[in-house]
Amino acid sequence: MKVLITGFEPFGGEGVNPSWAAARLVAEARPGGFETTAVRLSCVYGKAVGELRAAVADTGPDLVLCAGQAGGRTGLSVERVAVNVDDARIPDNAGNQPVDEPIVPGGPVAYLSSLPVKACVAAVREAGLPASVSGTAGNFLCNHVFYGLAHLIATERPALRGGFVHVPYAPEQVVGRAEPSMSVQDIARGLAVIVETAARTTTDLKVPEGATH
């Protein structure tokens, strides 16, 4: 089993991005004994998907787990849906700010994750960490990369499985602010659990996890 895990460079004026810091720890830990490679993606529209595609071509993974920062979330959010729209509330790191633009012109409106999202959430909770199924990855770079990955799988690499996880702020990002955070070590532990669960599970749990609003 070969695993590719990605995180993003810092953005929005932050000095750190916990998704990348945790991805590196996961690769070092080699969850499940799997050959695991970590790649940092640029927080730049278009470029990030190109970097992801190059990493997939270089490493030939069986499983891809992309991670990104979602400030304000209280636990790991395993994303269920990627939608075909960029709508940037803030500019990316190159100053791009697309509004209501398709990620892939003519592509499907949305893709569902090819990972067992509910089983992954249950496993993270069993490991003692907060987690939830998320119905929206937003419309910034995280959704952009998630959709790019799903489109790659659907059109070019049908044997590949992959998905996206949002992670909270790291503690140093919320000093003096009343916002939730999680240590990078715990984020990495949760991501490792997701990798192992996704690698060994092909049929998802049938339990209620949908949001009411």
Tell me which residues are annotated as active site.
79, 142, 166
CA distance 55 to 76: 24
List residues bridging with 21 in a β-sheet: none
How far from chain centre, in Å, is Cα 70?
Answer: 10
d(CA 87, CA 85): 6
Instruction: Determine the Cα angle at 76 with ends 80 and 58, to 5°.
Output: 70
Residues 6+ apart with CB under 8 A from 195: 3, 5, 26, 31, 32, 34, 36, 63, 65
Where do we find the tokens 């959709």?
Answer: 147
Starting at the earlier edge strand, list the strands of the sheet with 76-79. 35-41, 2-8, 63-69, 161-167, 76-79, 131-134
Residue for token digits 């895990």? 5
Task: Return the HEC string of 71-115.
Answer: CCCCCEEEECEEECCECCCCCCCCCCCCCCECCCCCCCCEEECCC
